Amino acid sequence: MKTWSPSRWKRPAAGALLASTLVLGGCVTVPLASDARDVHATLGSRWTPGVPVNALSGEASRTDTDVDVQALLARPLTADSAVSIALLNNRELRAAMHDLGVATGNLVQASLPPNPEVELELRKPTQGDDPMQVDIGLEYDLSELILLPLRRGAAQAERSAERARTAGTVLELAYRTRLAFLEVQARQQQLDLRNRALQTAQAGHGTAVELEKVGNVSALTLANERSAVESARLAVAEAESALLDAREALNVLLGLFGPSTRWTLDAPLADPAEELGPGEGLEARAIEASLDLAELRGRMESADQRHRLAATEGFLPHLSGGLHGEKDEDRWELGAHLTVGLPLFDRKQGERMSALSSRESLKARYEATATAIRASLRQARGRVESTARRARHVRDVLLPARSRALDETVLQYNAMQVGVFEVLRAQAAVTDAASTYVETLLEHHRARSALEQLLAGRHQGLELGPTRVSAATPGSGGAAPADAH
């Protein structure tokens, strides 16, 4: 996969450069649309499936953007539509696009040749009838013109780095939005399960109250059932708070407020995806696709260009030349001059040292980032496989076992071998297993998203913390082992 670099820009000839700079100088605009197209081209095949290609056009008005966003919000939200809304509506992303415009402006400025200076002098003696004398001079900085290609090269490399950084910001926003959407899905499912557990606890308490009236249960049993209800009610409140937090975190990424925040979800979390294919070559793919490394390469190239510029500027005598015309009575006297500044003391030693140090610092960061990308890739792949195994174990083994235990308990209850409370406890165990499945499934999708993000080219902002193991309540059989098949 190719990355954008200064070498891919052909330097124009002097005549073409002068013509283009004259055109650029005549019209100054915010280059959002052209920068957005450049970022879109940089993303290339990394573009998120299901996201419209005009999401980064930068040409739509605020009204058009609002219409597109409302059209997406009119339907239940999916992960892809959430990403589309974020790319259309997130103002932090728009700010990042304007940051690229700063680099574009610096490149335009670095491509402009120096302005000529014209000097006009009029002299007339205070006495006598001598005519007015006219002096005209034209001065031009030749050194700045000679150094122009080097200054442009440094600005080009810096813009290349900034373009890679902005493209990485787009991918990071898509990744964070997808994670936030997954979190909302999981919190909504957990709230549904906690409400189900509360209903079970309330049924148990209601039964205990009726049985206590006829003296068939003890006061201790009634107190325990009341405690279970209050604990379940507290769990519902906590689940509601977690869902609210998750929705607001997603609203921030989507740039939504007011009535627009009343969106609904399309579906719950999907089951574990298919098995990963062979892992050969994944590290190489991640390194080749990395926009973080592309940004560092651009900044290293910029440091090299600044070093060459400082070296040339330090040993090149300052040159300026001009023409001079003087009118004395009815005659014009024409002449020319060349000024040479000798580089005896200031030879840009400090700037060269700074550029070299910056280059070595960026090189070390490049190597450290490449190492971190490889490690994160291995970690994400291992976590995808581990969480998929655990999620399948909960779905295919633990949940059926708990359901079978519930069915058997109901049969025993119908045969009057067990009481109603045993049935309710078996139902609570099924709910706890379902809760474990939701948390394991969320962890799986997070790991899968992280792996996809790495292969798309973004490592910065990746969330790969310690593995979270969901535990069922005591006495419910525990969670599935990490190496279960």
Domains and CATH numbers, the chain: 6-456 (1.20.1600.10)
What is the predicted pLDDT for the residue at 7?
35
Residue 38 has what pLDDT? 81
CB–CB of 188/41 below 8 Å?
no
Calpha distance 34→77 (Å, rounded): 30
Strand 117-123 relative to strand 133-141, pairing: antiparallel
Decide: 178 and 449 in contact? Cβ < 8 Å.
Answer: yes
Query: How many separate helices (H) and strands (E) can be counted in the chain?
Result: 12, 4
Whether the predicted pLDDT of 4 surpasses 50: no
| b/e burial code for range 314-344 (CB count within 10 A of at least 16 → b) | eebeebbebeeebeeeeeeeeeeeeeeeeee
What b/e string do you get for 347-380 counting C-beta neighbours within 10 Å, with b at 16 or more? Answer: ebeebbeebeebbeebeeebeebbeebbebbebb
Average pLDDT over residues 320-329: 76
Any bridge partners for residue 117, and if so which?
139
Lookup: tokens for 260: 């627009």
Distance, in Å, from the CA atom of 170 to the CA atom of 173, rounded to the nearest integer, reads: 5
Q: Do you know the residue count of the chain? A: 485
Condensed to tens digits (0 to 9), the pLDDT of residues 406-430 reads 888 888 877 777 777 788 888 888 9
Least confident of 257-266, 298-307, 384-393, 467-476: 467-476
Matching residue, tokens 């006598």: 128
Q: What Cα–Cα distance (Å) separates residue 380 from each residue in 104, 321, 451, 483?
A: 36, 63, 5, 16
Enumerate the β-bridge partners of residue 325: 136, 334
Q: How confident is the model at residue 438 (pLDDT cuts 50, 70, 90)?
A: very high
Q: Which two tokens stand for residue 14?
A: 């002097």
Residue 97 to residue 206: CA distance in whole angstroms: 60
Q: 3-class SS at 178?
A: helix
Which residues partner with 337 through β-bridges? 322
Q: Quick count: other Cβ atoms within 10 Å of Cβ 485?
A: 9
Higher-scoring residue by pLDDT: 18, 210: 210
Q: How far apart are CA 424 and CA 9, in angstroms?
A: 71
pTM here?
A: 0.79
**SS3 readout for 264-308:** CECCCCCCCCCCCCCCCCHHHHHHHHCHHHHHHHHHHHHHHHHHH
Report the interhelical angle of 79-89 vs 62-73 (nearest 10°).
Answer: 160
DSSP assignments along 401-468, one per residue: HHHHHHHHHHHHHHTTSS-HHHHHHHHHHHHHHHHHHHHHHHHHHHHHHHHHHHHHT--TT----PPP
Query: What one-character-per-residue DSSP string does 8-28 give?
Result: GSPPPPHHHHHHHHHHHHH--
The candidate with the shortest Cα–Cα distance to 35, out of 157, 160, 150, 152, is 160
Residue-wise pLDDT for 196-237, tens only, equals 888 888 888 888 888 878 877 778 878 888 888 898 899 899
Mean residue pLDDT of the chain comes to 81
- The per-residue pLDDT for 51 is 52
* Residue 346: strand, helix, or coil: coil
* Whole-number pLDDT of residue 59: 53
Q: How far apart are CA 257 and CA 62, in angstroms?
A: 15
Q: What is the pLDDT of residue 323?
A: 79
- Give, rounded to a whole angstrom, the gap between the first and last alpha carbons of the chain: 36
Q: Distance (Å, rounded) from C-alpha 302 to C-alpha 308? A: 10
149 vs 23: which has the higher pLDDT = 149
| Type of residue numbered 257 | F
Could you tell me if 444 and 272 are in contact, meaning their C-beta atoms sit under 8 angstroms apart?
A: yes
- Pick from 325, 336, 259, 287: nearest CA to 455: 287
The SS3 call for residue 140 is strand
- Which tens digits make up the pLDDT trace of 129-164? 777 777 888 888 888 888 899 999 999 999 999 999
Task: Determine the Cα angle at 198 with ends 407 and 192, to 5°.
Answer: 85
What pLDDT sits at residue 369?
94
pLDDT for the residue 20: 43
To the nearest 10°, the Cα dihedral for 354, 358, 364, 365? 150
Q: pLDDT digits over 43-96, tens only?
A: 876 765 545 545 565 555 566 677 888 888 889 999 888 988 898 888 888 888
CA dihedral over 291, 297, 300, 306, signed as positive or negative: negative
Are 272 and 85 in contact by the 8 Å Cβ rule? The answer is: no
Least reliable range by pLDDT among 13-27, 267-281, 372-386 = 13-27
Give the sign of the dihedral formed by CA 425, CA 426, CA 427, CA 430. Answer: positive
